[in-house]
Structure formats: C-alpha cells, structure tokens
Amino acid sequence: MGSSDMSLLVVGMNHRTAPIEVRERVTFSDKEVREILSLARAEQTLGEVLLLSTCNRTEFYGLSNDNGAAEMYIRNIISRQKQVDLAAHPGYAYTLSDVESARHLLRVATGLDSMLIGEPQILGQVKQAHQLSLEAGACGLVLNRLLHTAVAAGKRVRTETQLGSGAVSVASAAAELAGKIFEDLSTRSVLLIGAGEMGELTARHMLEKGAANLTIANRTFGKAMELATELNGLALPLDRVEEALACVDIVISSTGSTEPIISQTQMKRIVSRRSGRPIYIIDIAVPRDFDPTIGRLDGVFLQNLDAMNLLVDKNLEERRAEIPRAEVIVEEELEKFLVWRRSLAATPAIKQLRERLEEIRRQEVARYGGRFCEEDREQLDRLTESLMKKILHPAMDKIRSWSGSGHLGSLRIDTIYELLDLPRGDEGDPGRPHRPHGDGEKE
C-alpha cells in the first residue's frame, strides 16, 4: 500500500504540556535521532517518520495505518529511551492526527507554537530534522511534501509578517534601540562598565549588530582584562571612566555600586566636551549607576532596565498582533498541501491508465511498424506518442480533480479501472508496510 492511504500523526511534548525537568530529559541528539529513525523504519509500525527535537519540544511525525498503535509505539520509544513514565503521566505528551498534525507542524515551523512567539531558530531546526529523516531513508513522499510546505510557510511568515520582528530580550532591545539612535554601528564605540553577565550579554548584542571598539571598565581590572581578551576589546581601570565617556558613543553600565557612579555635574562636564555628539547610555544596574536626571541633558539618551522591559513588552505585543496574519498563511499553505494529498489517491489510477495505453501503443506500432521504412517508423513512433500525450493530458487533470471530491470521486476512479480493466495491484513502496488492495504511488 502507499502513503496516500496512511494517515498522518504527531506525538510530542512541548513547553505547554511537560515541565522543564521532563523536557530537558526528553531531548535527542542527532546521533540518537538517526538511531531511532533507523529502528522505526525497520520495525515498520510507521510508514514514514521524522523526529524534531529542540530544547522546548520533542515531536515524532509519522504516517501509519493504525494511529492508535502508532501512538503507543512512539510513547513507548520516549518512555524506554528517556526513562519518562508516559503511562503514569499521559498528559505530558499530546497526539494529533491527520489535518491537525499537518497544521501543527506548519504552526511550529512558523514560530506560532514557540514559547517565544516568532523566534527564528525553529525553522532551521525543522529543516535539520527533515534532513536527518531524509538521510535515514525515513522521509517518504508525504512527509517530504509536508516538510517542504512547512518550510515555505515559515519563510512566508518571516517575509510577509512582523511575527519575528522586534527585540524580545533586554540585551537585544538595548541593541535595537542603538540602531534607532545611530545609523551605522560599525563606526560606533562601546564602553561596558562592570563585567557582569547581563552587561556582557548586552555588549555581545551590540557587537553582533556591528559595533566596533569595545572598551571594558571594571573595579577588578583583571576581570576586565579577561573579558576584553575574549571579546577582542580593551580594558580600562574604573577611575578612567569619565575620560572614556567623553569619547564613546554607547555605554552599557551594570556595576554593583550602591551609589550612582556618574552624577549630573560630572555628566554636564562630559557633554560639554562632546561637541554635540549624542551618547546612548543603557543603565541596567539596580541601583542605577547614572543619576537619572542625566537623561534630561541634550544629546544624552539614558535608558534603564524598566525602559528596556517596556520595549520588550511592546515588541511582544506587536508580535502577538501579527498572529492572525501568520495563521492565514498557515491555512493557505495547509490547503495547498491537502489538495496535493487528495490528488495522491488518483496517482495509481493515472499510472495504470498511462501504462495500459502505452502498452497498446507499443504493440500496435510493433505490429504495423514492419510496413514502414526505418525513417517512417521513427516518425510513426513519435506521432503516436504525441497523440497519446494529447489525449491523456486533459484526462489526467480531470482524474486528479476527482480524487479530491470524496466518495463520488472514488466511484468515478473505480469506473476507469472497470472500463479499461486495469489491475488494482500494489506497486509497493519498498520498506513500507503492505495491505491487500492497497495502491502504490510515485511522485
């Protein structure tokens, strides 16, 4: 039998169904994925199979004749391989069938189902899972098409909506804001005051955005040196910060100081030395490192942790507002997939019909070919072939359209079998489970 008769299913767990202690255990390395795919292929419970494993999600997509058995099979794999008792906690994993499972994959690939909505990494992870399944020979006609559809939907959502736009972490929001003040960060210098984790992360985002010349000032000079070596920057003693502030464009401050390290008077002095050049200060320290009144000075853009959180919230809100547009794209792509899938039912009939007519054509050409000279025989061959194509082409389109029209369509296709006495055998998909009276299919 072929994939056209099997139904799709997904069994998986994600951030909504399983706690982190479970999720972190149920992740599969690429090596494990390959092993499981080979095993599943050998055991033949699933016609086709794909395993998507990320830090927040583990999902098995499969094609089977019996979804109940397939679900049990997958749950057993998870329980056995990762020592998670899914029998005792069935709610950790979910199962979706047919259209729902296809829709689910499309929503996953577009980032609609992600913990951080619209995050871009998932699309790459879906592509990687597809690749592993292809390499293991576990990705057949249907899953292959489904994965292509999912990737196409993911790309469309990325280009046609703002679902993935706007920074959604404090560090990236700080870098985004830098891009609203300065046009080109590659000519801008950054000063990091305090070598804490949050400050370092923010500095890394600035560098990723193209900022040049990172200088790190820290109370413990050794730590500044260490980080400067790692980030290819310069280290500076903390008492020379005022000097640096007169030159740099972007300042990230996150010291553990209990008092402001820069007062308004100091900053006024610094600003007067900057000849109107703006300075962007992200003060993510609590308590704050820069006197808040500094923000009133012309040319000083002072932002604190609350402002960054506000920006993150705003961006998340905007991403959420894009959900309906992304859902429309998912439905459009899903519909294309479903139309294609329905047309699969007609593939065996079309194939049989084409083969039968080709057989007749060959026989007739062979029978009468002797009456022609060699050159004319070639012409005869070409003529009959072209005749066949012209007759068959519209007929095949019609048959494909019937296959999507339910019971009546099936009856019409049956009539073709009857009429031309076509065989209803299974051409067979090597390595797939078989069923009497199944239909083979080829792409």
Q: Judged by CB under 8 A, does residue 299 bind other proteins?
A: yes
- Is there binding between residue 301 and other proteins (CB under 8 A)? yes
> Which is closer to other proteins, CB of 231 or CB of 316?
316
Which candidate in 55, 139, 247, 373 is catalytic? 55
Residue 162 as a binder of other proteins (CB under 8 A): the answer is: yes
Least distance (Å) from other proteins to the CB of residue 239?
A: 27
> Which window, 39-47, 56-64, 150-158, 309-317, contacts other proteins (CB under 8 A)?
309-317
In the list 177, 193, 285, 329, the residue contacting other proteins (rule: CB under 8 A) is 177
Q: Interface with other proteins includes 156 (CB under 8 A)?
A: no
Instruction: Rule CB under 8 A: choose which of 80, 148, 180, 269 binds other proteins.
Output: 180
- Of 279 and 399, CB closest to other proteins: 279
Q: Please check whether residue 325 is in contact with residue 161, taking contact to mean a CB–CB distance below 8 angstroms.
A: yes
Contact map string, positions 182 to 211, toward other proteins, x by CB under 8 A: xxx---------------------------
Distance CA 246, CA 270 (A): 5
Q: How far is the CB of 183 from other proteins (least distance, A)?
A: 4
CB of 413 to other proteins, least distance (A): 41
**Among 314, 336, 356, 377, contact with other proteins (rule: CB under 8 A):** 314
Element spanning 212, H or E: strand 212-218
- The residue range among 78-86, 311-319, 338-346, 355-363 that interacts with other proteins, by the rule CB under 8 A, is 311-319
- Residue 248 touches other proteins, criterion: CB under 8 A: no
User: Given the rule CB under 8 A, which of 55-63, 222-230, 271-279, 385-393 is the region that contacts other proteins?
Assistant: 271-279
Q: Is 55 among the catalytic positions?
A: yes
Q: How far apart are CB 334 and other proteins at their closest, in Å?
A: 21
- Candidates 307, 334, 349, 350: give the one binding other proteins (CB under 8 A): 307
353-382 residues near other proteins, rule: CB under 8 A: none
User: Does residue number 310 form part of the binding site for other proteins (CB under 8 A)?
Assistant: yes
- Smallest distance, other proteins to C-beta of residue 44, A: 47
**Range list of H helices, 287-322:** 305-321
- Provide the 10 A C-beta neighbour count for residue 251: 25
User: Stretches 6-14, 18-26, 284-292, 300-308: which one binds other proteins (CB under 8 A)?
Assistant: 300-308
Whether 59 contacts 129, CB under 8 Å: no
Does residue 311 bind other proteins (CB under 8 A)?
yes
Q: Which residues are catalytic?
A: 55
Binding stretches for other proteins (CB under 8 A): 160, 162, 177, 179-184, 275-276, 278, 295, 298-299, 301, 303, 306-307, 310-311, 314, 318
